[in-house]
A = this chain, B = another copy of it.
């Protein structure tokens, strides 16, 4: 197991081995590797689960098996139950985001947190949910709620990872280059203005100042890298060479 403190994901009475394997993959995509399983319908180990899990098979080897929901939760201090519909049980209801935020806080305080996922067809029974401290409800389209087990695991794991990671929402893959400094953009702009002046681009005269301003504004408004600047110098130089070669 990875050393990072994290919630356990508990599959309650899962039916198809493929779905157990898919749940393992969904977890491990987001760095979660504590799986518990109660009473899998087709016994354990399950070859279909292993086949589906592929690179996440370790989670199945290390999964802890239990007979009942109560057994599986015995050492947990806070339990969330995922459910698609209202159950008539008075309970806090969290979005996946809110739930994993709370989980991260509690785990940082040393609590042992679990998330329950019900069997594919019917979902958790009220008897399972009554053992949980709170509910997680994914805000799906009220006209069409059809998340499968692995997808529900995936969204919850994704939210866990969002809460614990220092996520930057936008970076730039810079492909071995760097942002152009202002002076480089200035020189690019000068280069174009000069050559285009020679080429007779700024015409007619009364419009020429406005055209130059637009061109300068164009370059400075663009998110240019050094590689871009060099390429655009090269484009212009080649056009001039072409003219001079006069072929």
Contact = CB atoms under 8 A, between A and B. Distances in A.
Contacts of A167: 95, 97, 139
Contact of A56 (B144, B150, B238): B144
A132 to B, nearest CB: 12
A198, A200, A238 pick with most chain B CB within 10 angstroms: A238
A74 interface: no
Number of this chain's copies in the assembly equals 2
A163 to B, nearest CB: 11
Given A31-B141, A169-B98, A151 B26 contact: yes
Given A92-B170, A145-B29, A238 B196 contact: yes
Interface string A145-165: 111001100110010011001
A54 interface: yes
Contact of A243 (B161, B196, B242): B242
22 contacts: A25-B146, A28-B144, A54-B146, A55-B144, A90-B174, A90-B177, A92-B171, A95-B169, A97-B162, A97-B169, A98-B169, A150-B151, A196-B239, A199-B241, A200-B241, A201-B238, A214-B231, A215-B231, A223-B223, A239-B240, A239-B243, A242-B243
